[in-house]
Every structure is written in C-alpha cells, then in structure tokens.
Structure 1
Amino acid sequence: MGPITTISAVLSTMFLAAPSPVASDGDFDWPLQPRPSVVRPFDNPEHDWLPGHRGVDLAGSDGQTVLAAGDGVVVFAGSVADKPVISIDHPGGLRTTYEPVSPAIPLGRRVTRGTPIGTLRPGHPPCSPCLHWGARRDREYLDPLGLLRHTPVRLKPLTPEPPHG
C-alpha cells in the first residue's frame, strides 16, 4: 500500500467514523462540563416506528449543572412521562432536548451557548444519573454529537523527515 493509498484510507476512516455535521456554524458545545463520556451513542432506526436511541446519553452526576449547547430560545420546560425535560429551539429548524433536567430557566427565555438551563436528575436508566441529549431538525432526529466543534484534521508525515545537512 503506497503513501497516497494509506493517507486516503486514514482520511476515509476518520470521516466515516466522525459524526455527521448537522450545523454549519459550529456554535455548539457539550451540555455538561467537564466534557462527559458518551455512555450510549445515537442509534437512529431505519423507520420512525422502530425502536432506537434518538439521542446520546452523557455521564453526569445528580445535581450537575446542564448548559445550553447552543444559542436559542427555551420552548419547553416541564414534564414528559414524569421526567423533567427542557427543549431549546435554535436557528434553522433545529431543536435540542435535555432530560432528566429540572429547569432553572423560564419558558421563552433566550439563551446562549453555555447558559445554565437546569440541573441533572436521576431517572434515565440504565445509566442514571446521565443526561439524555437529543437533537432534531424539523421531524428528523440527528446525532447531537454532530453539532459539536471538532478539532481540525492535521496530517502528519508517515515517515520522519530526513535530517537537513
């Protein structure tokens, strides 16, 4: 395998393994700090009626502050099936959801990335306490990890450069 083929294979693997972008401006960040581990990844089913995991579960702790992942407006702050949920609408038809999160911000409030919006509560099995973070554009569920800013890819030589003499 030559250097061009190797670089092509590495780049293909990196881009296929990376979450697909869902926002063009990169103005989103993790809703928990410090950066949490992903306990359960996004698993979009082939059809709307099939089971899946329409979001990601992020490791957290009971009472931990949950932050708005991006700029938007709080459009829901209440209970769904006895779980506290917050939803934020962002430009371009994007909505992010956070559960189980006790709201600390009123409905209709404009927020910016990093604004505290509530506190994480237990009640999301099997990883309780953890944050279930979801995203959708209109009616299509998206992998919220695709919203995050990623470090740019930097290519390095496969072999060390010969010494200059």
Structure 2
Amino acid sequence: MKFRPIKPRSPHLNGKVERSQQTDKAEFYSLLDKKDPQLDWQQASAQWENFYNQERLHSSLHGKTPWEKYLEVKAIIPTQEQIQHQYQQKKETVHARNNYFFQWQKKIIWLNSLGLRHLRPHLSLDYKTPQQVQHEETLIFTRLGSQVIS
C-alpha cells in the first residue's frame, strides 16, 4: 500500500475516514451521556468497536460484517514476507508534486546565474500550474474516495 498524504483541512479528499467518523458520531457518541462520571470511555469504545466490526451489518459490504468480509478475503491478502519478496525499490519512483514546475524554476535559476535574467525558458505544453495539479489530484482522490491506494 502506498500512503498518499492529503492537504490539511480537506475532508472531501478523505471520504472513507469522514464517513466512519459520521457513523461513530451518529451511532455511538450520540447515545452516550458525556457528563456521566461513571462512564468508562475505554470500555464503551471497545464494546462499540467490537459491535461495529463483528455484529453490525454494512450495506457497503452487501450485508456482511467487516469481520465476515475479512475472513472471506483473508486467503488473498499477502503476508509481510510476500510483500517484501516482491518489492523492487528500483521500480518505486518519487516525483515532486509538480515536476514540470520545478524543472522550469531550475531553468530560471540557471539563467539568472548566467546573468541572463531577461530570458525565460520556454514552457512546454506539459507544464501545469500548481492550481491545475491540485485540481487534478482533487478529482483523482474524489473518484478513489481514499488517501490510501493499493
């Protein structure tokens, strides 16, 4: 799995977590008396977690519990050893958020260092402004509905 960080204060880019928090708020926190001094939050949250994962049916899982779904797909989930065996660092490339923009910036710095401040490098058709890249990422994450992509 690759971790894809999102911008702060961007709940629209993190739909699954937001949906989970909405369910917790509606079905767990709203039923508790938060002012009750006898309330054991650890015990209550552990019971909620158990109920949510092993007893509550989920429409997104076609009427199954998360535990039932896990048992169904358990055989196809790779182990840590399998992942490490198949991992090839040479195939993992890391690109700057807007690689074209940074290349253009480097060219400007280089021209300035030569005393050619009046020249500007030609922008290729591939150039994207930071706003265009951000918009594209927003569309991609909205379609995927998650910050984690397998």
Q: TM-score with structure 1 length normalisation?
A: 0.19
Structure with more of its chain in helix, by fraction? 2
Structure with more of its chain in strand, by fraction? 1
Relative contact order: is structure 1 or structure 2 higher (C-alpha 8 Å, sep ≥ 6)?
2
In terms of Rg, which structure is larger?
Answer: 2
